[in-house]
Structure 1
Amino acid sequence: MRKRSIRVQVWLNKEEKAKLEASAKKAGLSQETYLRALINGYVPKELPPPDYYAVMKELHA
């Protein structure tokens, strides 16, 4: 069962929508999850580059 029962609609212009999409993607989150994090006072960080974990593994080997 869905935990959230209240729906909120927000109107954005093209630039705001593009920024929301890009920011959520960089953080590896859906737009909904990204906005919930912001509402709760948390600014999601960007994910590390794809090769980050491979490099870290090499450094610690």
Structure 2
Amino acid sequence: MRERNHKMTLRLNDKEAELLNKKSQMVGVSKEQYLRMLLLGVKPKEKPTADFYNMTRELNAIGNSINQIAKVANAKGFIQVQAYEENVKKLNEVLLELSRYQILPERGDEAWLLQEYGL
């Protein structure tokens, strides 16, 4: 069954329509989704640039190399497991924080938690 059962008509002038088109394209979502995000108090973020994805890919490659080096070092018996695990954890945290900063939209206020989750 369809979740959104209420159809609405919104009238905009040329300037407003152009602005809505531009902003939704910058975020990378449909106009409808963009308006829903605003309605729910979400601050949409622009799509990340190609540089962001290239940097993320390079960091993932570094992480894979670290894992391969660790496998060899572990097999030969000369690895400091705790230091290795701390560095991998830091790399993963940087990747996660980078993704959060660039991709995930922000909530305008915390009132949505009350509405959405009853907190």
TM-score range, shorter chain: 0.7 to 0.9
Question: 1:5 maps to which residue?
Answer: 5
Give deviations 1:31-56, integer Å, cap 9, x for gaps.
Answer: 10100010011121001112321133
Q: Which residue of 2 aligns with 1:26?
A: 26
Higher helix fraction (1 or 2): 2
Q: Which amino acid counterpart does residue 47 of structure 2 have in structure 1? A: L
The count of residues paired between Structure 1 and Structure 2 equals: 60
Runs (5+) with no aligned partner, structure 2: 63-119
Gaps of 5+ in 1: none
Scaled by the length of structure 1, the TM-score of the pair is 0.85
1:12-51 superposed matches below 5 A: 12-51=12-51
SS of equivalent residue, structure 1 residue 51: helix
Q: What's the CA shift for 1:20?
A: 0.4
Structure 1 residue 5: deviation in Å?
Answer: 0.9
- Poorly superposed stretches of 4+, deviation over 6 Å: none
Letter in 2 for 1:22: K
Q: Percent identity at matched positions? A: 37
My pick for the range that moved more, 43-52 or 5-14, is: 43-52
Higher-Rg structure is 2
Q: How large is the Cα RMSD of the aligned pairs?
A: 1.2
